[in-house]
Structure 1
């Protein structure tokens, strides 16, 4: 009758090997889990940032109150004034950082607010002017910022300067002004000049 001999040292070596493999698997799983957690956190942060930017583009924009054509001469409008306010749900809007794009039959023109000692200059071929219509705390006159739902600002555009020379916006003409705020919110204003301007000192557009 044969008797099987076993060596306790051999069994100990097998147990140590299994333990090493188990520890290695746990370490790999932990590293993989850490990578997944970091990736998920990064994606969540990016998604939140993208969502906030998209929300700002929708809400942080200007809203048109009225559009008026003034300084009528030679059967054309020399000055266009837009009264604007914050759109519902918008945060503070810095008009000084707003870009206006004027588009009509003569071409497309990009305009900014030109300031001198924090006071906006009059509109010209490259700039539009900003003045307060309603401003309880001076935020518009001081820094061209709409910081209250009741704030109203007037944006002045010199149509004849923008269009070049003594070339006002003529009777029956159309033009588009796009106001793009610092957050990317865009407001589109379509101007339609009446067919007859004779006898008027100002008209609604």
Structure 2
């Protein structure tokens, strides 16, 4: 009985002070909820963007199909690197691509020269194309072999699914004589690079000017 009488004598807090405290608590809760919603939205957008970029970085890249060379009986002076985008790769701008090649003693880096461009989509000889004309050792040229949508042009050399192009390198001055170990890469703006690794033939035959290297 005493407990019931005690409870009956208790009264809730009333008045303007209680109302102010209640409104303040509601406002604090609303502000906290707004901050949490904005933060979660930002994090979701950031995670989505990061995931897309990571997927693009992992899936994209270049594949080296083959490497051939034209020799002068003692050294390979012209090297043709056949490349294509990896399966599932995003479009790759060869204008932002860098090639690196080394003979073990010296390393050479080259960038695309838009004046060294040729297309052989209707056929022709790679080493006779105009892409080699006046090609110096600091640049590389592009020879288009397969490009169904015409995306790889001299000013905007972009390759995508199914395209095959040749990176034309002037390798005069590098030690690419017989039994030379050559390494390098074709490194795009993003994605996995194409790896170059081969050993030159044990002898160069006058009757076989073009040799398969990789």
TM-score category by the smaller chain?
0.7 to 0.9
Q: Confirm or deny that 1:146 pairs with 2:153.
A: no
Q: Confirm or deny that 1:69 pairs with 2:76.
A: no
Q: Confirm or deny that 1:86 pairs with 2:81.
A: no
Q: Name the counterpart of 2:6.
A: none
How many equivalent pairs are there?
187
Q: Name the counterpart of 2:125.
A: none
Q: Confirm or deny that 1:59 pairs with 2:59.
A: yes
Q: Unaligned stretches of 5+ in structure 2? A: 1-10, 119-130
Deviation at 1:30, TM superposition (A): 1.6
1:203 to 197, 207, 211: 211
After superposition, the C-alpha distances for 1:100-127 in whole angstroms (9 at most, x for unaligned) are: 22233133332110114x9476442221
SS at match of 2:15: helix
Q: Name the counterpart of 1:41.
A: 41
Aligned partners of 1:46 and 1:187: how far apart in 2?
A: 30
Aligned partners of 2:65 and 2:24: how far apart in 1?
A: 69
After superposition, the C-alpha distances for 1:44-72 in whole angstroms (9 at most, x for unaligned) are: 222222222221122221212111121x1
Aligned partners of 1:12 and 1:148: how far apart in 2?
A: 74
Deviation at 1:202, TM superposition (A): 1.7
Deviation at 1:128, TM superposition (A): 0.9
Alignment TM-score, normalising by the size of structure 1: 0.79
SS at match of 2:152: helix
| Closer, same or farther: CA 64–16 of 1 in aligned 2, 3 Å | same
Deviation at 1:33, TM superposition (A): 1.9
Q: Name the counterpart of 2:188.
A: 181
Contact 2:136-2:170 within 8 A present in 1 as well: yes
Q: Unaligned stretches of 5+ in structure 1? A: 1-10
Contact 2:69-2:76 within 8 A present in 1 as well: yes
Deviation at 1:140, TM superposition (A): 2.3
SS at match of 2:202: coil
| Closer, same or farther: CA 134–45 of 1 in aligned 2, 3 Å | same
Q: Name the counterpart of 2:105.
A: 106
Q: Confirm or deny that 1:132 pairs with 2:144.
A: yes
RMSD of aligned alpha carbons: 2.5
Aligned partners of 1:111 and 1:137: how far apart in 2?
A: 27
